[in-house]
Amino acid sequence: MNQTSFQYRLADFIEKNKYLICFAAIGIVYFFNLFIDIMEVDAAQYASISREMSKSGSYLQVFEHGRDYLDKPPLLFWMASISIRIFGASNWAYKIPALLIIIIGIYSTFGFAKLWYGSQKAKIAALILCTTQAFFLITNDVRTDGILTGFVMLAVWQLSLFLKNNRLIHLLTGSLALGAAMLSKGPVGMVIVAFAIGGDLLLKRQFKQLFKVQWLILLLVVAVTLLPMCYGLYQQFDLHPEKEVYGLKGPSGLKFFFWTQSFGRITGASSWNNHSGIFYFFQTILWDFQPWILFLIPALFSKFRNLFKFRFKGPDTSEYMTLCGFVLTFAVLSMSSYKLPHYIFPLFPFIAIITADYIVAMAERPGKFMNFLSRFHIGFIHLFFIVPVLSFLFFFPVKTMFLPLVLALLFLLFCYAVWTTKNRVDFIILPTAIMAFTFGLVMSTYFYPSLLKYQAPSIAAKEVYGKKLPEGRFYSFHTGTSSLDFYSRSLVPEFDINRISAYDKGTCIYTDKAGMDEIQKKSGEYGLIETLDNFHVTGLAITFLNKKTRNKVIDSMFLLEKQH
């Protein structure tokens, strides 16, 4: 084979498999995310609970540090604890079950989009979804929202197939996915699916579909799926009205799951309130849906315009599950008294499909607006190459030139794609995918590893675990955290200052400055073995990122050891 023939075949292979190559590249970033340390507070808490569950074998009744736990449903804990039991307590063992469900969600997005929009738009929708900043985050900072996203989209896809072909297998699969969505984060899973499917049927005036007798099968399957969790909640809480959990006296576990934790945040029955405004999610989505946000806004406008055009009666050949699932749930979540950015991530498959449909449709009949928007978008995403360079210079200096060299090469590939791509759709999609891969790679191999050097509890716990201390030789004082438990592979108890002389030689204590002073004032037997820089890494601030001002905002934590 001569060189010209090889180059032709290589170019032909790349052209035919360009989207597959993009998915593989994003998969590399997801793979690296598996090995990043687990971040405080929520993810570390869930990892610690999962490790504790794997040790105790208590799957129906959930405990945190030996105390009753009543917050999130148990599916994430079940999956992660089984993984930890098989593979050991590690970053990747905790994260991989959630990653697999997220991948199912991405594939379900493809399957649903292919059903309604064709293969090309389906590939683009899935690629848009997996390249959002939200998905790079949830494959790293693993919480319940990732598995909720996967199961919600699987349920919507399978139930839409059932409505199209009336096959029982799709109803059963969708019902199981719906039950799993509720086991992931409560009734919000059913709400999202109900808004999507119900809104679509109402807009199409397909009222008979709303009252299909087969929906009774769905309710039965969901009920059976939830039965183990409900039994555990009833045994742990409803049978014990004398208990007090998180300030709640005699809480009903069943009421908490089905009402308080989800709907209570809207009605006021829940005490959780972070005083976030009604426009909170409008603000957070501007970053979380990057790098596609510039297309999402006109895409939603176009969907609403078509809805007005048809006087809110959608044709049977169209789908409104994506629009209803996103808009109705977004509106309800915006009324909640307690909001965090990741609460709307389960809606991202819907807007990824809406965005993909808009990009392809507008590229096929381009006008001045689409030409301007696509070129402005390409210019805007250059910033995602500039930010890493600024980070190298002002935030966390690189130790070798390997990563900057990779960044430079990928930027050249990005420029090549911009200059040589003639297809209007690919002109938007391919350079953006290259940029997303580049930015994600920098974050997973450089930024987060550098950042998590300032998460002192996990650093301290790993060092103590490396000492292979006997049971009962590691304590916290004034500052216990979940990552201490997870990375030390033990439940780290609180140090009792009144028994300070009774502890064995070699006992280690993790504490803050006040705690160290108190211990050393009371006994001269405890020596300092390490000082650790500490910062709440999920609450980033420019004063922390700037290496010149970082020392002003970081705390010092201390690892003490009894030496006599």
Task: Return the closest-CA partner of residue 258 out of 241, 237, 281, 280.
Answer: 237
Domain boundary among 339, 360, 381: 360
Dihedral of the alpha carbons of 510, 516, 520, 524, in degrees to the nearest 10: 30
Residue 3: per-residue pLDDT: 62
Q: Residue 109 pLDDT > 90, yes or no?
A: yes
Residue 266: per-residue pLDDT: 59
The rounded distance, in Å, linking the Cα atoms of 289 and 297 is: 11
Residue 546 DSSP symbol = S
Domain that holds residue 168: 34-266+284-360
Residue 271: per-residue pLDDT: 58
- Could you tell me if 305 and 373 lie in one domain? no
- Residue 45, both tokens: 């808490």
Distance of CA 131 to the CA centre of its chain: 13
Confirm whether 26 is domain-assigned.
no
Residue 556: per-residue pLDDT: 92
Confirm whether 278 is domain-assigned.
no
Query: What sign for the dihedral angle of Cα 303, 307, 309, 315?
Result: positive
- Could you tell me if 231 and 352 lie in one domain? yes
Q: Residue 476 pLDDT > 70, yes or no?
A: yes
Q: Residue 212 pLDDT > 90, yes or no?
A: no
Task: Return the closest-CA partner of residue 115 out of 168, 59, 165, 161.
Answer: 161
Confirm whether 276 is domain-assigned.
no
Confirm whether 118 is domain-assigned.
yes
Structure confidence at residue 209 as a pLDDT band (50, 70, 90):
confident
Structure confidence at residue 268 as a pLDDT band (50, 70, 90):
low
Residue range 9-16: mean pLDDT, rounded: 74
Residue 6: per-residue pLDDT: 64
More confident residue, 263 or 306: 306
Tokens 């890493």, located at residue: 388
Q: Residue 249 pLDDT > 70, yes or no?
A: yes
Question: Is the separation of the CB atoms in 484 and 455 below 8 Å?
Answer: no
Residue 318 DSSP symbol = S
Domain boundary among 341, 360, 379: 360
- Could you tell me if 61 and 152 lie in one domain? yes
Confirm whether 504 is domain-assigned.
yes
- Could you tell me if 157 and 290 lie in one domain? yes
- Could you tell me if 494 and 373 lie in one domain? no
What pLDDT digit, counting tens, does each position of 359-370 carry?
999 888 877 888
Task: Return the closest-CA partner of residue 405 out of 426, 422, 389.
Answer: 389
Q: Residue 250 pLDDT > 90, yes or no?
A: no
- Could you tell me if 385 and 312 lie in one domain? no
The per-residue pLDDT of the chain, averaged, comes to: 90
Q: Model pTM?
A: 0.93
Task: Return the closest-CA partner of residue 253 out of 282, 269, 271, 232.
Answer: 232
Residue 154: per-residue pLDDT: 98
- Could you tell me if 184 and 250 lie in one domain? yes
Residue 269: per-residue pLDDT: 54
- Residue 515, both tokens: 């705690």
Structure confidence at residue 29 as a pLDDT band (50, 70, 90):
very high
| Close Cβ partners of 5 (under 8 Å, ≥ 6 residues apart) | none
Residue 453 DSSP symbol = G
- Could you tell me if 411 and 461 lie in one domain? no
What pLDDT digit, counting tens, does each position of 513-560 carry?
999 989 888 888 888 898 999 999 888 889 999 999 999 999 999 999
Domain boundary among 316, 342, 360: 360
Which stretches of 234-320 are DSSP H helices? 253-255, 264-267, 280-288, 293-309
Q: How many domains are there within the chain?
A: 3
What pLDDT digit, counting tens, does each position of 53-73 carry?
999 999 999 999 888 898 899
What pLDDT digit, counting tens, does each position of 346-356 carry?
999 999 999 99
Buried-state track 351-370, b at ≥16 Cβ within 10 A, e below 16: bbbbbbbbbbebbeeeeeeb
Residue 291: per-residue pLDDT: 95
- Could you tell me if 384 and 289 lie in one domain? no
Residue 407 DSSP symbol = H
Confirm whether 137 is domain-assigned.
yes
Q: Residue 96 pLDDT > 90, yes or no?
A: yes
Residue range 12-18: mean pLDDT, rounded: 79
Confirm whether 229 is domain-assigned.
yes
Q: Is the peptide bond before 425 cis (omega within 30 degrees of 0)?
A: no
Residue range 220-233: mean pLDDT, rounded: 94
What pLDDT digit, counting tens, does each position of 166-195 carry?
899 999 999 999 999 999 998 999 999 999
| Close Cβ partners of 239 (under 8 Å, ≥ 6 residues apart) | none
- Could you tell me if 380 and 352 lie in one domain? no
Phi, psi torsion values for 475, nearest 5 degrees = -135, 160
Residue range 96-123: mean pLDDT, rounded: 96
Q: Is 381 helix (H, G, I), strand (E, B) or coil?
A: coil
- Could you tell me if 449 and 464 lie in one domain? no
Confirm whether 101 is domain-assigned.
yes
β pairing state of 526-534 and 555-562: antiparallel
Task: Return the closest-CA partner of residue 492 out of 482, 504, 503.
Answer: 482
- Could you tell me if 459 and 418 lie in one domain? no
